[in-house]
A and B are shown apart, each in its own frame.
Chain A
């Protein structure tokens, strides 16, 4: 079964450092998402990406965050200068884009745990 893969599974960084989280979406999917989940809290939408551009972002996704599809397979989330409150699980998801009957099922990766010290 095709799956979304994420690396690294766990990253520890110092406050103020830049972090890049990587995702490989399912190959025939064209719509990509990043979510975060702070320990014990909800899964929060960060950003959606389609056709090489951001299609929507939440208020959490401020100037510290950026996303990129650097090649045909990877989808990355960059946090420019990490803060303590960025510590969370970050989930990547992808979905198909169909001309009709697009029901929006999301396929999630296993997540990248970011710990900011």
Chain B
């Protein structure tokens, strides 16, 4: 099993550009989530999904969209990148929800100029 994979590893964007961060898992997990990690802030939940076709907002959802068309994939879209979105983004999954062990991807480091 590859576990949770994320692409790209690094990305530089200009303000106003859009992009999609990819996340995939091969563990047949129902629950998937996106976090951003900023220095001194820990991890903050952006969006999450409890299954295909179901998504919901987390703590810091503004400026981000998600969809979950399959169990395996949970892409995160930045609609119009802003410097405040410079961060490291982690995707995580678990069998059924946040009450269980979370399996994290390796992260995507994003710089918005």
Q: Do A and B come from one complex?
A: no
A residues apposed to B, CB below 8 Å = none
